[in-house]
Amino acid sequence: MSVVIVDYGSGNLRSAHKAFVRAAEDAGDTTAIVVSADPRRVARADRIVLPGVGAFADCMGGLTSSPGMVEAFTTAVMERGVPMLGVCVGMQLFADQGLEHKVSDGLGWISGEVRPLAPADKSLKIPHMGWNTLEEVRPHPVMKGIETGPDGWHAYFVHSYAFAPNAADSIIALSDHGGPFSAIVGRDNIIGTQFHPEKSQKLGLKLIQNFLAWAP
């Protein structure tokens, strides 16, 4: 089995690669983990990871300016049913549109939009940076063995915007920063995290292992 972390000029590629390799090794998984900007390699992958750091429009622009990349992973995910994980802005790109600085079209895979965080407590800083627990909204295989709730494991967040899905059943887990926001979204063979699994220690490694074993 092969996992391709998509290189389109945005994302913590080195950190993501190291985390996936470690998670696979800890689980005794011999999966090949590669970072690639080659759409042909992405099209043949058994698992695809879409990272993302920065502004929504910039990340979407990076994807669309990479010849054949969107078509490659769209065919793999939508036609072959390949599991795909979006991370941070990579997850946000699954939305219909993002509202960061301007209205920008996303992939439209999970209906909804990416909106600014608006904590009720105005003393809370934006961007939201730090460690939060998760509230599981509905069961999902990627959450197997992960402790949630107020005393659960912590995930690392750094963001100013959050995905607001149109359908409640697109939300797998919530977190809170002066109000709830989507921490994990998904449908079918697509899943995304607002937090960074590659920086989330125990929780992140377990989620990666679950993603590698997931057979939607």
Category of 143 on φ-ψ map: left (φ > 0), alpha (ψ -120 to 50) or beta: alpha
Rg (CA), the chain: 16
CA distance 99 to 101: 6
Cα first-last separation, the chain = 15
Active site residues: 88, 196, 198
CA distance 130 to 29: 30
Following CA atoms 187, 191, 193, 196 in sequence, which dihedral angle do they give, to the nearest 10 degrees?
Answer: 180
> How many CB atoms neighbour CB 56 within 10 A?
25
State which H helix or E strand residue 70 sits in. helix 69-74
Q: How far is residue 111's CA from residue 12's CA, in Å, rounded to a whole number?
A: 26
